[in-house]
Amino acid sequence: MTPVTGTPSAHVRSDIDPFSDEFLADPFPPLAELRDAGPVVYLERYGVFAVARHDEVAAVLRKPQVFSSAAGVGITNFATGKPWRKPSILLEVDPPVHTHNRRVVARALAPRSLAWLQEIFDRRAGELAADLVSRGSFDAVPDLAEIFPTRVFPEAFGIATDGRDQLLAYGAMVFNGHGPRNHLFDASMAGAEGVIGWITEQCSRSSLRPDGLGALIYAGADAGEVTEDEAALLVRSFLSAGLDTTVSAIGLGVLDFARHPDQWRALREDRSLARNAFEEVVRLESPVIGFFRTTSEPAELSGTLLPAGAKVLVFFAGANRDPRHWEDPGRFDIRRKTAGHMGFGIGVHNCVGQVIARMEGEALFRALAARVASWWLTGEPRPRLNNTLRSLDTLPVAVEPA
């Protein structure tokens, strides 16, 4: 095959900047523009391609050998640019290395490893919901969304339970770190040294409680499947991807319910909807806006020829609101058939922690539904800008007790 070189011309070009404050504050209007512009769009500002329709997002994610993760899933191409941290051996690798490492992780997340968690999550969710209802009004970001995952995850995983600030700061770094070196990247890296030191310490075998999920990763090292250093890096993956993502989904979910009292009423009437409600939040809100892939060879995608070594920005958030795939995609409908959403990705790299995320979301929505009759927005919610994550900075609410 002849490599395609030079400036691409066959596909649509756009000057949309997916890492601008304006885009990140509300990506859905520009994502609709990108979807309508064409199946594959060249983003002139960064010299990368982007896909924002459901079909193309799925097509790219299903071909990991052509659309590789090994050059990084952020905008930096590891072949030409330096990663800001040692690459993840789960996220930023391809099969067969990925397959091997993921198996070690997946074992720690097997249903029989998780049975004891639902009870803890339900108890903690009940305590938090009762406390918030007794306060009456609060900020649902720092007082709810940031509290729940940073309380239950360390407990389940077996790390220090007093590391909320470090966990959230590290998550912000990791997800901003997939973008270009803009003001968001730089701001989140301020104070990095102390945060990285704390995280690294938590990743060591001696920091992990022997009865937590983290210790199961080191069981893979004991079995000779990964080295001690690799086990530490796999633990780092949990601490990278497992906190800010669920914080984001919970905050945005509360906002969805506050804006749609009919949906809250439906959940209150049938709490078994909590699981699908969380899934619908992940579809509608897409906490992870998108990740990149890099072509390992010249590739054809919906009639567009991509050169080898091209970065392709895969917009989960675009796919999740594509009217070519979803009926009334902007509507929050907790009874919707959410199968096929890209909020956790699909294919070999689909979110390995999604079972835990769902357990957390379901437990919290269920506990709140039992205790909160209705939500009132008492101030303007504000987004917290991040190069890869959609989330809220503040969400002032008052609740009417059930």
User: Residue 176 interacts with ligand OVV (CB under 6 A)?
Assistant: no
Q: Which of residues 232-271 bind ligand OVV (CB under 6 A)?
A: 236-237, 240-241
Type of residue at 195: V
Cα 104 from chain centre: 21
CB of 1 to ligand OVV, least distance (A): 31
Beta carbon nearer to ligand OVV, 35 or 283 = 283
- Contacts for 262 with CB less than 8 Å, ≥ 6 apart: none
Q: Which of residues 155-174 bind ligand OVV (CB under 6 A)?
A: 174
User: Residue 90 interacts with ligand OVV (CB under 6 A)?
Assistant: yes
Pairing type for strands 12-14 and 41-43 reads: parallel
Q: Which of residues 18-77 bind ligand OVV (CB under 6 A)?
A: none
Separation in Å, CA 393 to CA 146, 228, 250, 357: 10, 37, 12, 20
Beta carbon nearer to ligand OVV, 60 or 368 = 60
Give the alpha-carbon dihedral of 316, 319, 320, 322, to 10 degrees. 160
Q: Which of residues 271-310 bind ligand OVV (CB under 6 A)?
A: none
Site string for ligand OVV, 109-148 (x = CB under 6 A): ----------------------------------------
| Cα–Cα distance, 154 to 159 (Å, whole number) | 5
Beta carbon nearer to ligand OVV, 53 or 349 = 349
CA dihedral over 266, 252, 157, 134, signed as positive or negative: negative
CB of 61 to ligand OVV, least distance (A): 13
Q: Which of 24, 58, 91, 173 binds ligand OVV (CB under 6 A)?
A: 91
CB of 40 to ligand OVV, least distance (A): 24
CB of 85 to ligand OVV, least distance (A): 9
Beta carbon nearer to ligand OVV, 86 or 331 = 86
For 113, other C-beta atoms within 10 Å of its C-beta total 15
Site string for ligand OVV, 183-222 (x = CB under 6 A): ----------------------------------------
User: Residue 386 interacts with ligand OVV (CB under 6 A)?
Assistant: no
CB of 131 to ligand OVV, least distance (A): 30
CB of 236 to ligand OVV, least distance (A): 6
CB of 74 to ligand OVV, least distance (A): 9
Residues in contact with ligand OVV, counted by CB under 6 A, come to a total of: 8
Residues that bind ligand OVV (CB under 6 A): 88, 90-91, 174, 236-237, 240-241
